Amino acid sequence: MDVVIGFFLALHIIGIVALLGGVLYQMKAMKAGEARMVPGMLHGAFLMLVSGVALVGLNEAAGYDLNHIKVGIKVLVLLVITALVYIYRDAPRISNALLGAVGGLTTLNILLATMW
């Protein structure tokens, strides 16, 4: 079971790298006012959502104790991120504040996972 959990954890990390990497990739475009949501950000957000739900289920099945408040807050933050990226996926340009919010919420999710 630990191998399967490790596999889904790796997928979760790949998803967060795709999401945060998309934000960082758009930093140069932010200066020109041409920032947009790249497809990799949406794929990363969905991958994080699916793998995160799978991780919760697998860890529960394996008998590990989970902090459900932490999981709930992380899911809520991720749903906001996913909604923002999904809504603005086809917009030719987005505001710098919106891209910053996605990057900030993604960073918040990383900090919640590692420091709480």
pTM, two decimals, is 0.92
Return the closest-CA partner of residue 46 out of 99, 5, 85: 85
pLDDT at site 30? 93
Distance, CA of 54 to CA of 25 (rounded, Å)? 28
SS3 label, residue 91: coil
Using one digit for the tens of pLDDT, what is the confidence trace for 56-96? 999 999 999 999 999 999 999 999 999 999 999 999 999 99
Q: What is the pLDDT of residues 10-69, one digit of tens each?
A: 999 999 999 999 999 999 999 999 999 999 999 999 999 999 999 999 999 999 999 999
pLDDT at residue 46 in the model = 98
Return d(Cα 56, Cα 29) in angstroms, integer.
Answer: 36
What does residue 26 show for φ and ψ, rounded to 5 degrees? -85, 0
